[in-house]
Amino acid sequence: MNDSKRWKDPVVTSLEPLGKFYLAEDYHQDYLQKNPGGYTCHAIYFDSYLK
């Protein structure tokens, strides 16, 4: 991301202590195994950020 120079400031990740955790509902578990094409709509948008 930083090599693309798309943003003025560097893209960073901060690691924070875990707060309260909520387990997702069963239909969210193993989502891509249950829905192999489930994220195809995101791939179109994500690629645009790398150009």
DSSP-assigned states of every residue in 1-25: -GGGT-SSSPP-----------PPP
**Total of domains in the chain:** 1
* 36 falls within a domain: yes
pLDDT on residue 12: 92
* 27 falls within a domain: yes
* 6 falls within a domain: no
pLDDT tens sequence across 18-43: 999 999 898 888 888 888 777 665 55
Residues belonging to the chain: 51
* 39 falls within a domain: yes
Does the pLDDT of residue 8 top 70, yes or no?
A: yes
* 40 falls within a domain: yes
Higher pLDDT: 4 or 18? It is: 18
* 4 falls within a domain: no
* 22 falls within a domain: yes
pLDDT on residue 46: 55
Cα–Cα distance between 49 and 3 in angstroms, integer? 12
* 50 falls within a domain: yes
Residue with structure tokens 């400031």? 9
CA 48: distance to chain centroid?
A: 14
Q: 31: domain range?
A: 18-51
